[in-house]
Structure 1
Amino acid sequence: MEGFSLDHKKNVLTQIASVLTRLAALHFDGIGKGKPFKSTLDYLLALIPEIAVDFAGYEELVETRQHLLEYHSSKSDAPCFGPLIRLIHTDYDAQNLLLVNSRDSSDKPPVLSGVIDFEYAYAGPLYYLYEYPIFFQDVDFSLGLYEQNAILRSHFVRALRQPFPKGSPDAIARWNDGTGLAYEGSQDYVPDPGPESDEN
C-alpha cells in the first residue's frame, strides 16, 4: 500500500478485517479427510511425530511437542485449542488485494473490491485465521515503517474484535495470546475497552 496515507491504510485494513470476520463465520467440523483433526491441539501435535526419527533437529521437535502439551494442560480451556475450524486464506499480501481508487476524489479511501489467490486456502484452526498481513509486519529492510506498523496493527486488532460479542471465542482465540512479537502473525497489542488512539 505504498503511497497511501495512514488514514487510507487504516481504512483498507478495516475492510480486510471485515473479510476475515466473514471467513470466521464459515465453520467446519474438522481438518482433513478420513480421520479429521477435531481441535487445534490435535492438528499441531500431528505435525510432530511421537516416535524417534533419525534426522537433525528431532530433539528440538520433541522439546517443542512437550512444551505444547504442557501449555495445553495449563490452559486447556483456552479458545485457541478448541474445535474452532475456519477457512484460512494464508496469503493476504498486497498483490492479492484488489483495490479500486475513487474517481471523485483522491481524499476518499480505496475500496477493497476483491481478494484473490485462494490456491493454498485450507480448513484450519481459528488461531491461524487472524494473521497480520505481511505488508505491516516489521522487517529489517523497512525500519522506518516500524512506528507506523505498530499503529496499523493496533487498528487491525480493534477492527477484528469489533464485530464479535464480548467474550466470543472468535474474538479472543488469537489476540489474547500475548506473544509480544510484531512479525509472523504474532500480536504485539492487546486492545483496551476505550476509544481508539493512535498513541497506543
Structure 2
Amino acid sequence: MRLFAGLLPPQPVRDELARALEPHHAAWPHLRWIDQENWHLTLAFLGEVAEEVLPELEIRLGRAASRHAPMTLAFTGAGAFPSARRARVLWAGLRDCTESPGGAGPGRGRPRIVRLAESVMAGARRAGAVQADEGKRFRPHLTLARLRADADVSPLVEALGPFAGTPWEAGAVHLVRSHLGARVRYETVAEWPLTARAPGGRD
C-alpha cells in the first residue's frame, strides 16, 4: 500500500485558505489546483509499504508521536518549488505560533514540526518502511497546486504573500493511504496523539 505520515489541517482552516485562493483560479487556469479535501502536511513520504511491515510501523510511529507535544500552526504566505520563476509546485507557508517569528515557510530554521518529521522518518526507517532514503531536508509546506511545465508564478506568490491564516492545533500524526486513480483519494489508516508535556522531542 502507498503510505505517508502527516498532519491534517481542520476543515475551517482549509475553508479559510480556499476562500483566499478562489479569486485567483480563473487567472491561473494552467495550474492543477489540489482539491482541499486532499490538503495535508506531509511529515514522511513512505511510498509502497508491505502489509507485513504495518504492525511494526504503527508501533514506531506511535512511539515517535508520544515524544512530541501538540503545536499551534498557521498558514502564511506562499512560495513555489523549485522557485517562483520556474515553478512546478505552488505552496502555502507555515508558521509555528508557539515559537519565535520568522518561520513563515520552507527552509527557515529548525522548528518543532521539523523535529517531529525527523522522528517520524526515523521511526519509519527502523520499521523497514522506507526503501530508499534520498536524504532530502524536510521543508514544511502545504501543496496548493502543481504545474506540468515550468512557469513564472511570481505575481501569484506576491498576491498571496499577505495571507495570514487562523492558528490551529496540530495534535496528532496520521498514517494515510493514497488511493491513486482518476481522482486521488486519501484514507487514514491510523493516528497517534502528540502527547509530550513540553515542546521538543527526540528520535
Between 1 and 2, higher relative CO (CA 8 Å, sep ≥ 6) is seen in 2
Normalised TM-score (structure 2):
0.25
TM-score (ref. length: structure 1): 0.25
Structure 1 or 2: more helix by fraction: 1
Specify which structure has the higher proportion of strand.
2
Between structure 1 and structure 2, the one with the greater Rg is: 1
